[in-house]
Structure 1
Amino acid sequence: MPLDSIHAVIYQLEQQPRWRSRGQFRQVLNHWTAVVGEGVARQAAPVRLDQDVLHVAVVNPMWAQTLTLERLRILAKLNDRLHLNLSDIRFSSGDWYRQKAGKTTAAPASASAELPEWLRQHPSYEPRAIPRLAQRPQTPEESFERWAGMTQQLAAQQPLCPQCQCHCPMGELKRWRRCSICAVKSLKGPVGRHSV
């Protein structure tokens, strides 16, 4: 009696109803980079498949939000390419840190280089260098202080909106000749009529 290869044995196991979702998850893992691209794959990794919902760990909440907006496109590509019937994708930055616990991972040198082109072309996008910390913030207050300091540094480098005199990204001034908030207000007319 010849011995079957390990791949044949795994394939046979994955055809059984109890193991089918594991086989589907393995397919997703094997094709993830081809579906989303190398840049996104470095920032997001599938962690489990639960009742036709794919759970993906992402490096930070910004990536979770960006990929959530692209969710339907990614879902369609996965279903078409792998002949699956996934119903949804959920992105979570919490899963990233649970997966990476105990491992040392280096952050990419330039996070902005990993962003999709459409996001980098948005008028409100401002590339910023995120300083490396000796250690991660331990409390919500430390996280807030870090964010507030970075936001103040960024604002100090931005020009002022000629209408409201608030700091705003240069892309907004180039596109609308004012900040995006003033641009929206000018479309809505007087404040009393359609307040924001």
Structure 2
Amino acid sequence: MSFNSVNDILGVLQLQAKLQEQPFQRLLKCWPEVVGKVIAAHTRPLSIQRDVLRVATSSAAWAQNLTFERRRLLVKLNTVLPTPLVDIRFSTAEWYAAKETNNQPQTLLPRYHPSYLGEEINRHHDVESTAKSANAAFENWAEAMQERSHHLPLCPECQCPTPGGELQRWGVCSLCAAKGFSNNF
């Protein structure tokens, strides 16, 4: 029985990890180095399907210029990837969609929400105070909604306060308009 040193074992494990790494993940890691920082800033690899790399570009001009350079890029990329690519397709089609999915959704602070009343609800653990604070919160909300709606015109059908834009568009509030739409079908 032979004993291997820790360095030998770690070397074998690192080699196995590199071999098991997906080609697209490896491509993403080396993309800026292979194509250069300027091109990397205007491109985003999307996927590898049937040994064809799909790349989103920031403009049609970039897509066209890189299409002319794709053979040179293929040679560079194939030296880095475990399985060679057959072709590269450049398109602006998913540039903005891919960029939007990378952004985290912005969280809305409670004080900027339309239903915010400006008061904190005291949260207690017992049932009675929770019920009281819930009722108080509802009453405060109802009063605030009533104050906000005093300047709004009333819907001719249901007499509810209605934003002027809804009355201009449909002649009634959005709920009455929706009822009318559903009756037509």
TM exceeds 0.5? Answer: no
TM range (shorter): 0.3 to 0.5
Provide the TM-score with structure 2 as the length reference.
Answer: 0.44
